[in-house]
C-alpha cells in the first residue's frame, strides 16, 4: 500500500522491493529465502523485487546499496523510501549524513505523526530546512496505517489473525513455513 502510494504521488516508474541479506542492527529476521519469496508475491508491473542485497551475502547498509545502484544504473534516479517511525533510529545508519545529503529520500508518515511530520524530520535529522532531495509526504489523502512487520510478527506469535494485514499468498506462505511462531 505504501509503495503504490509513493509510486503514484511521485510518478515513479517502478518500486523495487529489496530484502536485505542480514540486518545491520542485528534485528532477528526470517531466513532470507523466505523473505525473498514473500516479496516476490508482491511483484507486479510496477513493483519489482531486487535480489541485489541478498546476493551480496553480507550485512546490508542503505548507503552502500544506493551508491552501488547509482553506479550500476546511472540512467536511473533512485529514492530510498522509509517510514517516519524509522526517523529516531536513522542516526544509527551507516554514514547517515551522506545518505540524507547525497541521495533521494522519501519519508512516508506513520500514525500519529502526520500533522507535525516536517518538524519531526528537521528535528531528527538536525536540519534547519528540508532539502530538495528529501520528500516528506504529508497529504491528508494518504492512506495511513500502523501495520508493521513487528505488529504482524507479534500477532502470529499470539495466534491472532493477520488476514487483513498481508496478501493472502503471503499469509499462506507464513503459515505453511511456520514463520514467526516463536
> What CA–CA distance (Å, rounded) separates 110 from 135?
15
Same domain assignment for residues 139 and 175: no
Residue in the structure block whose three cell numbers are 518538524: 119
pTM exceeds 0.75: yes
The CATH number linked to 102 is 3.40.50.620
H or E stretch covering 100: helix 96-102
Same domain assignment for residues 56 and 97: yes
Q: Is residue 87's pLDDT more than 70?
A: yes
pLDDT at 34: 97
- Average pLDDT across the chain, whole number: 92
14-50 as b/e, with b when 16 or more CB fall inside 10 Å?
A: ebbbbbbbeeeeeeeebebebbbbbbeebeeeeebbb
Same domain assignment for residues 10 and 81: yes
Same domain assignment for residues 110 and 152: no
Same domain assignment for residues 35 and 122: yes
Q: Is residue 112's pLDDT more than 70?
A: no
pLDDT at 182: 84
pLDDT band at 86 (very low <50, low <70, confident <90, very high): confident
Same domain assignment for residues 100 and 37: yes
pLDDT at 145: 84
**Enclosing domain of residue 166:** 148-182
Same domain assignment for residues 110 and 180: no
Q: How many domains does the chain have?
A: 2
Which parts of the chain are beta strand (E)?
15-17, 47-49, 79-83, 104-108, 134-136
Same domain assignment for residues 157 and 106: no
Q: Is residue 141's pLDDT more than 70?
A: yes
The alpha carbon dihedral of 65, 7, 144, 173 has a sign of: negative
Task: Find the range with the poorest average confidence among 20-29, 54-63, 99-108, 173-182.
Answer: 20-29
Same domain assignment for residues 155 and 125: no
Same domain assignment for residues 139 and 165: no
> What CA–CA distance (Å, rounded) separates 63 from 86?
15
Amino acid at each position: 500500500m505504501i509503495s503504490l502510494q509513493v509510486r503514484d504521488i511521485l510518478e515513479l516508474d517502478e518500486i523495487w522491493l529489496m530484502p536485505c541479506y542480514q540486518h545491520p542492527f542485528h534485528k532477528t529476521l526470517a531466513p532470507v529465502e523466505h523473505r525473498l519469496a514473500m516479496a516476490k508475491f508482491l511483484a507486479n508491473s510496477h513493483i519489482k523485487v531486487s535480489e541485489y542485497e541478498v546476493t551480496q551475502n553480507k550485512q546490508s547498509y542503505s548507503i552502500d546499496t544506493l551508491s552501488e545502484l547509482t553506479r550500476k544504473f546511472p540512467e536511473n534516479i533512485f529514492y530510498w523510501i522509509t517510514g517516519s517511525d524509522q526517523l529516531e533510529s536513522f542516526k544509527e545508519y551507516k554514514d547517515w549524513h551522506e545518505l540524507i545529503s547525497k541521495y533521494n529520500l522519501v519519508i512516508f508518515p506513520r500514525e500519529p505523526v502526520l500533522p507535525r511530520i516536517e518538524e519531526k524530520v528537521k528535528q531528527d535529522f538536525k536540519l534547519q530546512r528540508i532539502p530538495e532531495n528529501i520528500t516528506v509526504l504529508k497529504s491528508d489523502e494518504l492512506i495511513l496505517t500502523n501495520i508493521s512487520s513487528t505488529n504482524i510478527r507479534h500477532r502470529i506469535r499470539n495466534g491472532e489473525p493477520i488476514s487483513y494485514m498481508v496478501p493472502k499468498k503471503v499469509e499462506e506462505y507464513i503459515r505453511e513455513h511456520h514463520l514467526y511462531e516463536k
